[in-house]
Structure formats: C-alpha cells, structure tokens
Structure 1
Amino acid sequence: MTDQLTALDRATARRFVDEHIAPFADAWDRAGAVPEEALTRIGEAGLWAPFLPPRLGGSGTDMVTLGAIHEEVGRGCSSVRSLLTVHTMLAWALRRWGSEAQRDRWGPELAAGRVLGAFCLSEPGAGSDTSGITTTARLDGGAWVVDGVKKWITGGQRADLFLVFARGPAATVALLVPRATPGVTVTPIDDMLGTRASMLAEVSFDGVRLGPDALLGPSGFASGMVLTGTLDLGRYSVAAGSVGIIQACLDACADYTSRRRVGGTPLGELPLIQAKVSDMVTDVRAARLLLAEAGRLKDAGDEATLMATWVAKYFASTAAARHASEAVQIHGANGCGTGYPVARYYRDAKVMEIIEGSNEIQRTTIAGEAYRRQVP
C-alpha cells in the first residue's frame, strides 16, 4: 500500500476510476448510494485523503495532483467525487487546525477511509450563510453541548465523523462530532436532481454532549477558517469535478458520433456536431489550466489562490452545464434515457452551478475583486 500511495497521480487515479467507478456510476445513481465495497476500495487505493502526510497515513500529495485526482473521479462519478470533497474538507481542516492529539486520533482513520467525514455548515432556511447559523454550542461544566439542525449534508447518511459549525458563547466554533454520539440523528434526503448517490442527509443535534477535545482550533476562529480555508478547498474540488464532467461529455460524444450514422454519414462528420465537440475540447483544456493555476498557488501558499479558485469553479461549472446540455442534444432521444450516461452528466452538472458558491455569488465575488484592484 505504501508504494501505491507514493505513486498516486492522475494516471493511477484514471485507471482506478475506469475499473472501479465509471462502469457502476449509473447503477449507483439509480440506487441513490455508493455501496460499502466501493467505499472500501477507494480507501485501499489511497484516494480519501492523499494530501495528509505519511505520518498520518497519507502520501503528502500536492494540491495540483489532488485536483487532477478529483477531476478523474468526477469524470467517472460526481457522487463519489462529492463524497471525496466533504471528506477532504474535514481532513484538511484537521491537518491545518487540529491539535496533535486530534490529528493522531483521526488522521490515520480518515486517510484509510475507516472513518468517513462530512462537513456540516448548511442549515434549513440559511443555506451556507455563516451569519445565519442557528445551531448552538454552549459550555456546560467543561463540556460542549450542541443543539440544532444541519441540512443538505453530503455523505451525511454514511459519515462517521461530522465537522459541525455552531454559534458558540462568543463566536462561531467548529466541533468534531462522532456520529455515534448520543443525540445525533441522521435523516436521509432522497430523490435529488443530481449527485443522487452522494447520500445527502439532514443531521440533527439534540443536547449532544462533547468533551473539550471536540473543539477544532481556537474558540472564535471558525468563521475565518470557513471563509478562507475549508470552503476554498471544497470549491477547488468542485471545480475539479466540473472539469471531469466536461471531459466525460467529450468522451461520450466523440464515441457516440463516431458510431452513430444519419443517412449513412457518421454524426461526427457533420459541421454542427464538430463545432460542439471542438468547444468541449477547448473548454476542458481551459478549465483544466485554471484549476492547475489555483492548485499551484495553493502549493505556494499564495493567498491569490482564493480568487483563482473562484474563477476556476465559475468557469468549469458553467462550462460543464453548457456541455452536458449539448451532450444530451447530440445523443438525441438516447440522451434522455438511461442507456447513456449523458443524462446523469446533465443532472450532475446543474448541481455544480449551485454548490460551494452559486454562479451568482461567484460572479459578484469575481467582479468585486476586479473593482478592488482599481482602488489606488
């Protein structure tokens, strides 16, 4: 396993996805869940948290490579990539802000996938607006007591460990909450438009008591952590997954149009079809380059990575939605059924325009940065 983790890169991730994920993605989508044996296999391949240092069971993978890995997984199944995203967010926050004891306790379990993580920020009526958090965490004799409800929690049906953001005595706090803690209730959310196998849930906390070691980072530090760190990494993963959707659309359309004939002529020889495919080729390359730029800035510790990630996510998600629509159009009636994966790409791509910052928020943020640069 050590050799495999050390060698983990785009090529090994692609081989794994082609053998163990892509062939089963449609079935998982229909079932609304990723089976346990697949989750175990992902852990054996070292995909859950390869960026963790070897001491904690990872391989110290850099951010550029992590983006490439998440792209390949997104090419095969957006639901699996979504599970990787929230697991990555928790594991990264643990590495960045966890105590030595917290890292030693949870790091190896997260790296191996023996413990799966989920990110609990969104709430009914407030979404991911940190100023609207109503879940509370109060101190009672040295223990933290958590009450509230989180919704749209990716992987919530299966996760073993939740990173929960709550309104603390003075400011927002981040707490590590094991699923088995008394007072935690998980309610599945089914029949979503896209990423249907990502096992969404509503997670309720009713008088959940936690020890002082549940606090991640200094009290009152959580708001900055969410805005400048963890959500940025989640956005980066979604951008990578969106690049994967574009590539999947391109692969599906190139294959279909080379075999499908109209009046004896392959669809791929028709100029309008060629125009659509050429746009996919161009946009997937552009999106991949934007993603790589954001990854390089992360590896360099450059704060410019925040805006680079916003741009990559905006470009890749809008391109994914556009090309998934074109992919269905190219497939015609076949694209509307279950015999071809483009219908799944279409549904999943729409979700990418909403999660980790909607397109409207992204455009406002990107424009705001442009105006700030004009201030002397």
Structure 2
Amino acid sequence: MTSLTTAPPAPERTRTIDRTTVRAFVDEHIMPRADAYDREGTVPEDILERIAEAGLWAPFLPAELGGQGLDLVTLGEVHEEVGRGCSSVRSLLTVHTMLSWALQRWGSAEQIERWGRDLAAGRVLGSFCLSEAGAGSDAAGIRTTAEPHGGGWLLNGRKKWITGGQRSDLFLVFARTETSIIALLVPRATPGVAVLPIEDMLGTRASMLAELEFTDVRLGPDALLGPASFAAGMVLSGTLDLGRYSVASGSTGILQACLEACAHYTARRTVGGSPLRELALIRAKLSDMVTDLRAARLLCHQAGALKDAGDPGTIMATWVAKYFASTAAARHSTEAVQVHGANGCSTDYPVARLYRDAKVMEIIEGSNEIQRITIADEAYREWSL
C-alpha cells in the first residue's frame, strides 16, 4: 500500500469520462472477455489496471485527489455501461465507490490525505464490509465488535459476502461497540485480518467474493471514520444508498445487454427459412425490453439528479429505481434465454451469464422484498392521510 506522502501524483487525464467513452472502453476491454471472467471466477489484474488508466475507479472524487469531480448522473451512466459489459466488474466499482465516497464525505483531513489519491488512481482498491452470516443489510444484526484499546480499537468478528474481498487493499468495516455502530478503515495487511475466498456463486462469479475474519485486530484512533455513534445514521445509510444506485444502474446495463443480444441473435437465426425477428412473439418480447430499459434509465437518471441537487428525495427515488431495474433485468434476462432457446443455456452466448447475474441484482443492496416494504411505507406516509 502506498501513502500519499511518498506516492507520485496521479497522471493527468485528458479523456472525458462519459457514456460514450465508457461504452467504447467496455466494448474493447471488458465485453469480449466477460464470459472468461465468469468461468475463471476472477477479474485479471490487467483489466483492473486498464480501469485505473481510464480513471473509472472513483471519478466523482475532486480533481485535487486525482478524480474528475464527476456528477452522479454521469457516474450512474458509467456504471450502467460497465454493467452492460460485466456485472462482476461493475460490482467491484460499486464497493470501491462506496468506500471512496464515504471517505470523501466523512473522512478526516489526515484520512483523505492518506487514502484519497490512491483510491482515485486505483493504486488502492476498497471494499464495503457490512454483511455477516446472520445479517445482510440489517445493521442491527451486526455481531462484529470493536472495543476501545490503547487509544484505538480492537476488532473481532467475521464479515461475509464481501465483494472484492479477495483483492481489495482497504476495507470499510462496520462493527458494534457497547453503545453504537462505528465504521473503521482497515488495511488488508493489518495483522489479524484473514481473507477466505468464496467461490462457485450463482452470479457475479468474478466479483472475487470473500469472507473476512478479524482476530484481535489492533487499530489506531485514525481508523475511525466519522465520530463514534455516527456510522449507523450517516456513513451507513449514505453509502448503502449509493450502492443501490450503482446496482440500479448496473441492472439497467443488464437490460441493455439483453436487448442487444436478442436483437443480434434474432436478426440472424432462422426458422423455416425466415429470421426469428419476423415472428410476432419475438417482436413483442423486444418491444417490452425497449420499454422497460427506457423506464429504468429514466428512474436512475431521476435518482442521480436528486443526488446532485442534494435533495433527500433521492433515497426513495433510488429504492424505486433499484426495485424496478433489478426486477426488469431478471424478467428480461429470462426472456433472453428463452429467445435463444437451447443456445441460451450454454456458455457460447452471454445471455446465460446475464440471467444468473440478474438474479443477484434482486438480492444485493437490499432484497426486492425489503424494497417493496420500504416503498409501500413511503406511499402510506405520503398519501394515507
């Protein structure tokens, strides 16, 4: 790991980061190898480095930290395009984004100085560590503990389903104290940190999931992100909201990939001498994909625009966007496999991977059941009187 006191400045980037440039990047570097990542269960180092060269790890960070100060609407478009190419790569971007954003928002000047530029440049990769075997997005169920120790903290516990955990250099770990939940920045190389790979998952198989074990991990006072008792209400909720926004955008990318795959396949596949595209049922499936894709993209745009405006309504807008986009991605990836027939069940076509990845989107960053309850609660608050 590199400290900013010794690290060279990040190279200046002249390429503009927007949907068009990222789509070209994905088409060239990610999409042709996405099925291989899925089979091998990892994203290779050369792609992680290319992502860094393109400035995609944390482009929303300010220029003084090596970012581009990218607005969140555009960040959502970036994550959509990456999700179109590979949900595993997009998942790595998601958790790195969550840690980097939390650091920028609530980190001390010393913490930002130590980590900010390296996170922007991709020299340090980050993961978000909330989930445990008995607690997914439920912070109240956290059993990992942090006890005051020598002016700092003594960390013990286990985290599970940690995206990027096999590779990340820095972990944002949520732990319970006697009075609250706190957030701690934990470097991977800290004594007492053990990384246990999780393999053979249903979807996002290359996202390098891991279980993390913390055994008497001694951390200094500078590990605490934000004041004690602050994490549950601010660091935790804010980062989860940004994670949901990324997943919503990535689910929209899956929708786009399904549409492209089906349009390409049905224009060339023939039945009885005629292209599949001439069949009314096939055309109906594609028209539904187009409609839901546009709706999902608009919902994500609204959530991003509210974030950029600092409007608290973005929280509910993100819930709605994530719920709609993930369910639509699951529905249309099922249709995409059906359109491809037996070919859709093989690894020769990307729709099998899209189908498995889409299912994961309905679960991560708050399951769709939790989202429906939350959205209904909001409806009652607003309209039941």
Q: Please, what TM-score do these two structures have when normalized by structure 1?
A: 0.99
Match of 1:4 in 2: 14
Select 2:324's aligned residue among 305, 315, 319.
315
Select 2:164's aligned residue among 147, 151, 155.
155
User: Does the CA-based 8 Å contact 1:4-1:45 persist in structure 2?
Assistant: no
Whether 2:263 is the aligned partner of 1:259: answer no
AA aligned opposite 2:14: Q
What SS does structure 2 have at the residue aligned with 1:204? strand
User: Does the CA-based 8 Å contact 1:228-1:306 persist in structure 2?
Assistant: no
Cα distance in 2 between the residues matched to 1:73 and 1:277: 22
Cα distance in 2 between the residues matched to 1:104 and 1:64: 26
Q: What's the CA shift string for 1:62-111, capped at 9, x where partnerless?
A: 00000000000000000000000000000000000000111111011001
User: Does the CA-based 8 Å contact 2:245-2:322 persist in structure 1?
Assistant: yes
Q: What's the CA shift string for 1:95-132, capped at 9, x where partnerless?
A: 00000111111011001111000010001122221001
* Percentage of identical aligned residues: 74
What SS does structure 1 have at the residue aligned with 2:14? helix
Q: What's the CA shift string for 1:18-76, capped at 9, x where partnerless?
A: 00000000000000000011101100000000000001110000000000000000000
Select 2:301's aligned residue among 277, 280, 292.
292
AA aligned opposite 1:287: A
Match of 1:68 in 2: 77
AA aligned opposite 1:286: A
What SS does structure 1 have at the residue aligned with 2:79? helix
What SS does structure 2 have at the residue aligned with 1:173? strand
Q: What's the CA shift string for 1:119-149, capped at 9, x where partnerless?
A: 1000112222100111000111202110000
Match of 2:5 in 1: none
Q: What's the CA shift string for 1:154-181, capped at 9, x where partnerless?
A: 0000000000000023210000000000
Cα distance in 1 between the residues matched to 2:167 and 2:237: 27
Match of 1:132 in 2: 141
User: Does the CA-based 8 Å contact 1:235-1:310 persist in structure 2?
Assistant: yes
Select 2:248's aligned residue among 226, 236, 239.
239
Aligned pairs for 1:59-98 within 5 A: 59-98=68-107
Q: What's the CA shift string for 1:199-257, capped at 9, x where partnerless?
A: 00000000000110000001110001245300000000000000000000000000000
AA aligned opposite 2:346: G
User: Does the CA-based 8 Å contact 2:13-2:55 persist in structure 1?
Assistant: no
Match of 1:373 in 2: 382
Match of 1:201 in 2: 210
Aligned pairs for 1:160-171 within 5 A: 160-171=169-180
Cα distance in 2 between the residues matched to 1:132 and 1:3: 43
Select 1:327's aligned residue among 336, 359, 365.
336
Q: Displacement, 1:375?
A: 5.2
Match of 2:62 in 1: 53
Match of 1:188 in 2: 197
Select 2:222's aligned residue among 213, 220, 230.
213
Whether 2:303 is the aligned partner of 1:303: answer no
- Runs (4+) of structure 1 moved beyond 6 Å? none
AA aligned opposite 1:307: M
Larger mean Cα displacement after TM superposition, 84-93 or 134-143:
134-143
Match of 2:3 in 1: none
Cα distance in 2 between the residues matched to 1:313 and 1:321: 12
Whether 2:123 is the aligned partner of 1:114: answer yes
Q: What's the CA shift string for 1:337-368, capped at 9, x where partnerless?
A: 01000000000000000000101000000000
Cα distance in 2 between the residues matched to 1:117 and 1:159: 5
Match of 2:357 in 1: 348
Whether 2:232 is the aligned partner of 1:223: answer yes
User: Does the CA-based 8 Å contact 1:52-1:95 persist in structure 2?
Assistant: yes
What SS does structure 2 have at the residue aligned with 1:125? coil
User: Does the CA-based 8 Å contact 2:277-2:283 persist in structure 1?
Assistant: yes
What SS does structure 2 have at the residue aligned with 1:209? strand
Q: Please, what TM-score do these two structures have when normalized by structure 2?
A: 0.96
Aligned pairs for 1:25-44 within 5 A: 25-44=34-53
**Root-mean-square deviation (Å):** 0.9
Cα distance in 1 between the residues matched to 2:305 and 2:51: 25
Cα distance in 2 between the residues matched to 1:111 and 1:147: 29
User: Does the CA-based 8 Å contact 2:125-2:168 persist in structure 1?
Assistant: yes
Cα distance in 2 between the residues matched to 1:233 and 1:3: 25
Cα distance in 1 between the residues matched to 2:207 and 2:122: 16
